[in-house]
Amino acid sequence: MRERNQQGSISVNAIAGTYVVLLGINMKEDACKGLLGFAIERTDRTEEEHYKSTTLAQVSH
């Protein structure tokens, strides 16, 4: 499954496989000022569990 979403100056592309999801995040350069990274959250609707990432996805310019 593939999904794309854009809001303002950020767009996210998600490609879901059987066990993993690949995320591509793109922002306009002027919106990156002061940005340290992204936190990822996941909800398992089958088990009714919610997860947050414990590491920071770093931004490279």
**How high is the pLDDT of residue 61?**
59
pLDDT in tens, the chain (61 residues): 999 999 999 999 999 999 889 999 999 988 888 887 788 888 888 888 888 877 666 666 5
The model carries a pTM of 0.66
Tens digits of per-residue pLDDT, 24-37?
Answer: 999 998 888 888 77
Closest to 8 (Cα-Cα) out of 30, 34, 23, 24? 30
Q: Is 18 exposed, middle or buried (0-12, 13-18, 19+ CB in 10 A)?
A: exposed
**How high is the pLDDT of residue 2?**
96
Task: Name the 3-class secondary structure at 4.
Answer: strand
